[in-house]
Structure 1
Amino acid sequence: MLFIAAALLTASIHSLGVVEAPTVPVSAVISSAAAGTSGPGRPERGTQPAVDALAGASGQRWLDALEAAAPVTLRAADDDSRVTATAMDDPPSTNLVANWWRALSPASRTSLTDDAPVVIGNLDGVPYAVRDVANRAALAAGLTDTDTPTALASMLGQVRESLEQAPDDPRKYLVTLDTRGSGRCAISVGDLDTAGDVSVVVPGIFFSVNGQMVDFTATAGDVFREQATLAPVAAPADGPGNAVLAWMGYRTPGISDFMSLDLAHLGADRLVRTLDGIRSVRNDHQPRLGVVAHSYGSTTALIALSSGRTRVDSLTMLGSPGSAVTSVDELGVPRGEVYIGGAHWDPIAGTGFFGTDPGRAAFGAAALDLVGGSDPADAGDVFRQPWGHNDYLKPGTASLHDVALIAVGRGDLVRSGHGPGDTPDDGVVQASPDMYLVRPQDLQPRD
């Protein structure tokens, strides 16, 4: 049944023009995205031994080598796929990076940001305002490079469009820009370095930078604005305001591999680093940190939060196909702060395809009451019921409002318990006709 649902999702999404960008060779990507290099794969004379030494280092040695490198070496290293892969795929721990960065002199920070923007822009543990400067420099370099491959130029164009904002919009920060293959990107709406409430939104299948980043960032903006309206009822937090991270920080599966958990495990590792990076940068002033995970993204989040390597203050799952996690007690989330929502016309929610359905009463998550109606915090507001698999975070829905309430520490206003429609404890998913019905209008990313 899940295969049929995914096929329908794919057909509808492709009919709307949402397709994944063609794969671009790593060497072409790095040479085009790096700033101040001497040409694709050709470091400046005399720098190669230093770059080789940096490429062979790891952990604290790698950080120390970056600090000691001359500008010419940094520029060459930023054009070397071995060095950039360390920053993106196998970096030092976020605490090591954060402490290293704090100890650097202002001159060293400036040199690293200017001469190694690809490395610094993608290094968890570096402050997000710095990463934004570095990644925007790499973005600009890639967009102006006449040798940039067409597919890469299209991807970078989508990132640039995602960063556009009206004068009254909240500030956006480009905190991840990995242009290898089909790409990875993360854009924060609001300041991750200072916000009291931080939400990380994790997408599900069929999301790509070239196809969905503009819409995904706009969705983060909708979550941000809904949270901002709740400031009068928000629980106290350590910091002003809120921030929402549109985290397309892993490659999501397509129709050929959506039944595999391989990408979920890879994504979980990256999500752990992202969450730990937020904690490390904030040091003693910790935000209220929550994850909002949709579809396959909830499977990814469950793997990350059951690893014992990270923790958050809340987890909200929407349209989840489940995971091997069988109880909230296995998660790095306070008891009572795990939430689950499933729309009536969502063919994915409740399937338990990847193991246990988190909507089962035995799992222990609080079920969201998504039928719509008035706001318990303000009787003047009325919200509509979400329907399709991609409807949860649209403006005006009860689900978006619930997500925002949880993010600002008011999950007490959204708990509905478990009703008679829950999956029985015998583990058998009771199919109903509407589980097989998916309308094209339900699959549109936005109205």
Structure 2
Amino acid sequence: MLLVAAALLIASMHSLGVVGSSVVPAAPTVVKSDGQLDTVDVRAARGRTFLDGLAALSPDRLAAADHDRRVVATAMDEPPTAAVVASWWAGLDDGTRLRLERGAPVVVGNLNGVPYAVRDRANRRVLATGLADPDGDASQQAMLGQVRDALHRDADAPAKSLVTLDTRGAGRAAIAIGDLETAADVTVVVPGMFFTVTGQMDDFTATAGDLYDEQATLAPVAAPAPGTGVAVLAWMGYRTPDLSNILSLELAKTGATRLERTVDGIRQLRGDHQPRLGIVAHSYGSTTAMTALASGHMRADSLTVLGSPGSDVRRASQLAVAAGGVWVGGAHLDPVAGSGYFGTDPAASSFGATVFDLGVVPGIGGDVFRRPVGHNDYLKPGTSSLHDVALVAVGRGDLVRNGIRHHDDPDGGGMQPSFDLYLVRPQDLQPRD
């Protein structure tokens, strides 16, 4: 067990608490559908009642609600469904929308179903306010600084949107590269253990940018899909394991629920023009993604797992993914891939996925793609794995060279872990909240 934990530690990538207000927002009076008046306690409300209560608050009470722990927890952890939010937002007048965006940016910026341009403006407002706070906590400032750096873009680079910013505890954030509401291909990248907003958000967003660039170069051969161009979401939308909980699946289950909500938000805003939606998940993120896709609450056109320690999903057919859309990559010298530590190894022939051949393959113009080495090399520029992942994401898995297709075996199981001992890096021992 210790050897397994050590291998998982070395295989990880290098790498604002919302202050609760003591002010309780006054219960607003709202008009119900039958024309009767009703009083709503926003701190205790849920679903559409929660949203209507917010919209009815006066500006000063709205600002207080946006800093109230219970109100923020509802918006972040027990939110109304994306369908309910989208319907509510569409029914508001322009003045109310603007008042909510400016008066309650913490809440509005994180509600799936609100247009992404609005969420971006609201979250950037929270970011700017936090960075400008002279009395801000040092750890909070470091977290916000990472998000600020991750949002930087050169003049000729694609647009970026801050679609999630949860500053509580270890924090959560998600940055979209490209337009999630218009792209033909939308890819959500899910990180593995030891990833934090404070430690890796800038690098993680850059990795998502590399995938975006690779997909964009493949536009001439991409399979048709509603929309134009590509979008990649760097989704650090859940707390990943650290030394205190490295052996637990609880964070994967929580992360799966958050991932389901994120994807539902994309689908609600796309309506009848659904993109080709792919999930690219690394390490523990693959455990999270497979949990979500086996839940019955989320579907995808493709799932690509890289360096996976496995999950309790036994067969690809249990995943809500298009036929032939589950792909698995394991790099040379990756001690996590193939371990089956958290359950069935998705690369096992019994699982029924397609396994990438990650050796050196000929590239365009006589060049070659480099073979990925180790646990953290899969999405590096110039690797065969980055190129293959991008092909799958744009609907051209048929162009992936030498992929090994495994048929689903209902009696199959997973591989047992077998690790050598690896050294733990000093940065992996840093305390986490």
Shorter-chain TM-score above 0.5: yes
**Which residue in the other structure is 1:21 paired with?**
none
Aligned pairs for 1:340-351 within 5 A:
340-351=328-339
Q: 1:74 aligns with which of 62, 67, 78?
A: 62
Judged with a 3 Å threshold, the aligned counterparts in structure 2 of structure 1 residues 134 and 316 are, in CA distance, closer, same or farther, namely same
DSSP 3-state at the match of 1:300: helix
For 1:417, give the aligned amino acid: I
Q: 2:420 aligns with which of 436, 442, 446?
A: 436
Aligned pairs for 1:155-304 within 5 A:
155-304=143-292
DSSP 3-state at the match of 2:257: helix
**Counterpart Cα distance in 1 of 2:344 and 2:143:** 36
Aligned pairs for 1:110-149 within 5 A:
110-149=98-137
Judged with a 3 Å threshold, the aligned counterparts in structure 2 of structure 1 residues 85 and 295 are, in CA distance, closer, same or farther, namely same
| Larger RCO (alpha carbons 8 Å, 6+ apart) | 2
Query: What is the CA-CA distance between 1:4 and the residue it aligns to?
Result: 2.6
**Which residue in the other structure is 1:416 paired with?**
403
DSSP 3-state at the match of 1:48: coil
Residues 198, 290 of structure 1: 8 Å contact kept: yes
Residues 5, 247 of structure 2: 8 Å contact kept: no
DSSP 3-state at the match of 2:42: helix
Q: Which segments of 5 or more consecutive residues in structure 2 lack a partner in the other structure?
A: 29-38, 429-433
**Counterpart Cα distance in 2 of 1:80 and 1:301:** 31
**Counterpart Cα distance in 1 of 2:134 and 2:359:** 52
Q: Which segments of 5 or more consecutive residues in structure 1 lack a partner in the other structure?
A: 19-23, 32-39
Task: Name the TM-score, length of structure 1 as normaliser.
Answer: 0.87
DSSP 3-state at the match of 2:41: helix
**Counterpart Cα distance in 1 of 2:266 and 2:247:** 31
**Counterpart Cα distance in 1 of 2:280 and 2:185:** 13
Residues 129, 193 of structure 1: 8 Å contact kept: no
Judged with a 3 Å threshold, the aligned counterparts in structure 2 of structure 1 residues 177 and 225 are, in CA distance, closer, same or farther, namely same
Query: What is the CA-CA distance between 1:9 and the residue it aligns to?
Result: 5.5
**Which residue in the other structure is 2:295 paired with?**
307
- Matched residues, number: 412
For 1:206, give the aligned amino acid: F
For 1:395, give the aligned amino acid: P
**Which residue in the other structure is 2:388 paired with?**
402
**Which residue in the other structure is 2:19 paired with?**
30
For 2:6, give the aligned amino acid: A
For 1:320, give the aligned amino acid: S
Residues 12, 193 of structure 2: 8 Å contact kept: no
Query: What is the CA-CA distance between 1:330 and the residue it aligns to?
Result: 0.7
Judged with a 3 Å threshold, the aligned counterparts in structure 2 of structure 1 residues 399 and 82 are, in CA distance, closer, same or farther, namely same
DSSP 3-state at the match of 2:303: strand
**Which residue in the other structure is 1:4 paired with?**
3
More helix by share: 1
Residues 347, 437 of structure 1: 8 Å contact kept: no
Judged with a 3 Å threshold, the aligned counterparts in structure 2 of structure 1 residues 427 and 267 are, in CA distance, closer, same or farther, namely closer
CA deviation map 1:356-392 (0-9, x unaligned): 11111111101111112114xx454420110110110
Q: 1:385 aligns with which of 365, 368, 371?
A: 371
**Counterpart Cα distance in 1 of 2:278 and 2:259:** 12
CA deviation map 1:220-265 (0-9, x unaligned): 1000000000011001111111110110000000122111001000
CA deviation map 1:90-128 (0-9, x unaligned): 011111111211222111111111111000001111111
Q: 1:323 aligns with which of 311, 318, 323?
A: 311
Judged with a 3 Å threshold, the aligned counterparts in structure 2 of structure 1 residues 221 and 428 are, in CA distance, closer, same or farther, namely closer
Q: 2:342 aligns with which of 354, 358, 369?
A: 354
Query: What is the CA-CA distance between 1:413 and the residue it aligns to?
Result: 1.5
After superposition, the CA RMSD in angstroms is: 2.4
Query: What is the CA-CA distance between 1:430 and the residue it aligns to?
Result: 8.3
Residues 185, 277 of structure 2: 8 Å contact kept: yes
**Counterpart Cα distance in 2 of 1:429 and 1:216:** 30
CA deviation map 1:145-182 (0-9, x unaligned): 12211111111111111111111111111010001001
**Counterpart Cα distance in 2 of 1:57 and 1:42:** 16
For 1:69, give the aligned amino acid: L
Query: What is the CA-CA distance between 1:81 and the residue it aligns to?
Result: 1.1
**Which residue in the other structure is 2:31 paired with?**
none
DSSP 3-state at the match of 2:194: coil
**Counterpart Cα distance in 1 of 2:105 and 2:148:** 16
Residues 345, 438 of structure 1: 8 Å contact kept: no
DSSP 3-state at the match of 2:131: helix
Judged with a 3 Å threshold, the aligned counterparts in structure 2 of structure 1 residues 334 and 77 are, in CA distance, closer, same or farther, namely same
Query: What is the CA-CA distance between 1:440 and the residue it aligns to?
Result: 9.3
Task: Name the TM-score, length of structure 2 as normaliser.
Answer: 0.90
Q: 2:80 aligns with which of 79, 92, 113?
A: 92
Query: What is the CA-CA distance between 1:306 and the residue it aligns to?
Result: 0.2
